[in-house]
Chain A
Amino acid sequence: MTGGFAGYFYLHYTIGNHPAPSNLWLSLYYIVTGVLVSGIAGTLVALIIERFAYRPLRRRNAPKLAYLISAIGASYFLLNLFGKEFGRYPEGTSQPFNDHVVTTILGAQFTMYDFVILVASVILMVALDFIVSRTKMGRAIRAVAQDAETASLMGVNVNRTIGTTFALGGFMGGAAGFFVAINQGIAYGMGFKPALLAFTAAVLGGIGNVRGAMIGGVVLGIVMFTPIYWFHQPWLEEVIAFTVLVLILLFRPTGLLGERLGRSA
């Protein structure tokens, strides 16, 4: 949601009411900077949430229930603060590129938007996978996820690592918000359903498994939209996603690829 709003304002002040630029390089520039701006906004908000809603609890070693309640409270607070400050009605966003049909494969139309989001998400996911699996930071994150106490004994700054994790998650969320904003416009409640679906995708792929989550997202998307194509009932989308979630929990709780990391919240 924050990413979406940041993207909205960024594009609003750069492009404004002008028609979308037709120059490829200019469009690319807007998309890259838009993703960066939205991602950084998402990072900032994630860090603020971490600082004010989680760290006081972690310092006190509070029970898990307190984290969950605090998280849901913080998300509702932010959601409604945005609603209050920026109005409660959905709003369209200025377009950084012309959305036209690029090609048709097997009768399905691929628009420019589909193409952009496909490329961008592949780039972002590869980057995330690289960070988590190859860098020192990623190793610290995995170590804290497995056993925070031992990790701190090994010289990992647990607090900073958790902050980094939130920042990474915030960046990805912000970037995703940007793409949702350019396609569907913005609204103060826009982030709720994607978050629910994201959790389903993560469970489908296997919690704590970055590649699994990516595959889970793709599989969930296919499973969700195929019946809609058959029955022409768009609201089936969430019902199917939820059914999938319960079925996975029932039959394969470790997800498609299995859990990689230790389980600690």
Chain B
Amino acid sequence: MSDQPSKMKWFRSLDGEDFRRMATALCGGLLLAVMTGPEGSITQPTYAVRESLFTAHVYGYIVFGLVIGLLLTYRAKVKNGSWRQIRSAPRRTLVDHAASIAASTRLVALGVTALLSLFAGLLFADFSGPVAANKFSWHAFAHQFVFTRTYGYLALAIALWFTAANQITLLTRVRIRSLSRITIVVGVLIAILFFSLAADPFLPPRFTVRSLNPASQSSVFHHWTTYLWLGVGLLAIYSYLRKRDRVANAKSPRRLERMAISPSMRMVGYLGAGFIAIEAPKFLSLYWQISLYQQIGVYCLLAVGLNIVVGFAGLLDLGYVAFYALGAYVTAYFSGALPLQPPFHLNPFLVIPFAIVIAMLSGVLLGLPTLRLRGDYLAIVTLGFGEIIYVLANDWVQVTGGSPGTGSVNGFDVNLLGVHYGWSAANPLSYYYLMIAVLIPVIVLFDLLNNSKVGRSWAAIREDEVAAQSLGINALKYKVMAFAMGASTAGVAGVFTAVKVGVLFPNTFVLQLSITILVLVIFGGMGSILGVLVGAVFLQWLPAYLTFHSYFGYQQSDLYLYIGALLVVMMIFRPQGLVPSRRRQREFADAESGQGSADALGPITQEMPQ
């Protein structure tokens, strides 16, 4: 009897706030059930809700809501001290865990990671190979070893493992005897050779050992990718050797600990990413080869451009699609596809500068009057501008062709110095490589820009505009600059879309697209180019994948429902995004504790101009 109250204590500590939290979580579960339920209609308004709430599948969502509610309650209770935490050990990061495991059982851990990376390499080789009926049969698996490509992947895996092991030893200060330079150089050269073998596996003969014969027409030495990868590999060796020297000179152990991502690891990362970006699409099916350009590549470009506005400058642009449409229609104009005929026809490559200039000019014209006042007006003004461009494309038939669409847009082609090449829809990968060739310089450029004086000015304006201005930074100039740069990137993306789809319809450029691009930026992490790319690739891949694998009752028409919900959820729980930029994350935290701001939406001047 006497210890009854102490057993009931946890229950007594619940209060109204906890019940409110539970109820919210439960309602959230039910809302999810409704969101994923069937479509309703106006004639039977309760049908959809009834079908989604009073059938069996709703229990899963209720349980989901309950679990989330309990977790939230637990977290809040532990935080305010009325409950004790179940686990008493301090929280450790994944790196800590990895380090302690490696330190305790060094050889075993290294061996296990080596085996894992070997297995990963083989798996990659297997899945990238020719389509076999049963990928998991031993026969098909063993068959992979006939192809040199397999050895290329293995070499890549070993290189990855080597850097990972290096990291572990660096972090735990476990010394493994360093390999001599000669061993590394020879090893990497051999790896590169296999790498090159793996590089261009369009035709089956190139997979085999025969292709090492320089006399053969299908030999690897006849393909430029071999030399590309050789060059890249040599650069990697150079940077690795330089880094080794630097690490050897770094005496302070603290310095070593802080190098969580060493230059060599970063180099291997870039190398791996580049290799995968260039080689992997060749093994994809036609559907994904097309959507790599159309759904993912173009959206990466758009997201990287919007990232300048939202992430770097801290402004909000809700009519981003307008500049995208401008770029596309400028391309159509110079192809003679619009009712309004151009003075001269242009190759789409030559239209790109025009698209940049026109999108940039409209960005400046729009941004200058708006940003002079308050940053938050920009959101509404751009929203209006997006709507106007759509209306013009849809209804101004004399100029844009209206809703039936434009005529056909010229394709890309090159006729220069004896080289004649035309991009055609028959080869979707050619478009993909073109997109890569544009995307990578753009990313490098924007990254450099963010680390330059301009980027620092953006950061200063975001964090404290008044202080930035008192230091002589022209806030208006940098804001308009960011806005116009974002706009011109969208214009370039518009050119690429116009050329690929061939015929433009105004419905492609609805305002909802701006929201979609905004989600790509917010989800990945505004201000972080890597995050934005991750967000764009993931969020563009997922709907395309779910379209023909309908999990969780996903329906194509509900896409914007989820996108809207995702925006709110991200803002409430993780405004900095999944892969946040470190600076932006700190800004959000600072702004919430009352220091500075995380956006440039405040008034530039205290007095309004009269």
Contacts and interface: CB of A to CB of B under 8 A. Distances in A.
B592 interface: yes
B156 interface: no
B379 A68 contact: yes
B380 A196 contact: yes
A254 B608 contact: yes
B567 A69 contact: yes
A259 interface: yes
Contact of A68 (B35, B376, B572): B376
Contacts of A91: 42
A193 B379 CA distance: 15
A95 B515 CA distance: 36
Select the residue from A8, A9, A85, A235 with max chain B CB neighbours within 10 A.
A85
A213 to B, nearest CB: 14
B376 A245 contact: no
Contacts of B610: 254
A7 B465 CA distance: 46
Contacts of B272: none
- Determine which residue in B571, B592, B599, B601 has the highest number of CB atoms from chain A within 10 A of its CB, and name it: B571
Interface in A230-265: 233, 235, 238-239, 241-242, 245-246, 249-250, 253-254, 259, 263, 265
A81 interface: yes
B373 A249 contact: yes
B392 A86 contact: no
Interface in A28-80: 52-53, 56-57, 60-66, 68-70, 72-80
A239 B383 CA distance: 12
A229 to B, nearest CB: 17
Nearest to B392: A239
A78 B31 CA distance: 12
Tell me what chain B mostly uses at the interface: helix, strand, loop, or mixed: helix
Contacts of A265: 376, 601
A263 B598 CA distance: 19
Contacts of A61: 591-594
A18 interface: no
A108 B384 CA distance: 30
Interface centre among A66, A69, A75, A77 (most CB of B within 10 A): A69
A86 B366 CA distance: 37
Contact of A73 (B373, B395, B571): B571
A94 B249 CA distance: 83
B377 A249 contact: yes
Contacts of B587: 63
B571 A66 contact: yes
B391 A64 contact: no
Interface in B302-357: 310, 314, 316, 318
B48 A70 contact: no
Contacts of B373: 249, 253
Contact of B384 (A62, A70, A76, A242): A242
A199 interface: yes
Contacts of B43: 87
Interface in B550-573: 557-558, 560-561, 563-568, 570-572
Interface in B587-610: 587-588, 591-594, 597-599, 601-603, 608-610
B544 interface: no
B387 A74 contact: no
A134 interface: no
Contacts of A63: 575, 587-588, 591-592, 597-599, 601
Given A64-B376, A199-B380, A238 B388 contact: yes
Given A61-B591, A64-B602, A249-B370, A80 B568 contact: no
Contacts of B388: 238-239, 242
B509 interface: no
Interface in A165-201: 186, 192-193, 196, 199-200
Given A70-B568, A85-B48, A242-B384, A259 B594 contact: no
A89 B42 CA distance: 9
B194 interface: no
A235 B608 contact: no
Contact of A87 (B34, B40, B515, B560): B40
Interface size range on A against B? 35 or more
B513 to A, nearest CB: 12
Contacts of A241: 384
Contacts of B560: 76, 79-80
Nearest to A193: B387
Contact of A80 (B511, B561, B597): B561
Contacts of B380: 196, 199, 245
A195 to B, nearest CB: 9
B385 interface: yes
Contacts of B48: 84-85
B564 A77 contact: yes
Contacts of B609: 253
Given A62-B592, A263-B603, A79 B384 contact: no
B404 interface: no
A238 B587 CA distance: 38
A84 B561 contact: yes
B565 A73 contact: yes
Nearest to A90: B42
A88 interface: yes
Contact of B567 (A52, A72, A192, A239): A72
Contacts of A83: 557, 561
B35 A81 contact: yes
A72 B376 contact: no
B96 interface: no
Given A62-B592, A63-B597, A250 B369 contact: yes
A87 B39 CA distance: 7
B557 A84 contact: yes
Interface string A107-144: 00000000000000000000000000000000000000
Given A69-B518, A253-B609, 7 more contacts: A61-B592, A63-B599, A64-B376, A74-B564, A80-B564, A85-B34, A87-B40
19 contacts: A53-B572, A62-B575, A62-B588, A63-B575, A64-B602, A68-B376, A69-B570, A69-B571, A70-B571, A72-B564, A76-B567, A79-B560, A84-B35, A87-B40, A89-B42, A203-B377, A238-B384, A241-B384, A242-B388
Closest 4 pairs (CB-CB, A-B):
A73-B567, A77-B564, A76-B564, A65-B599
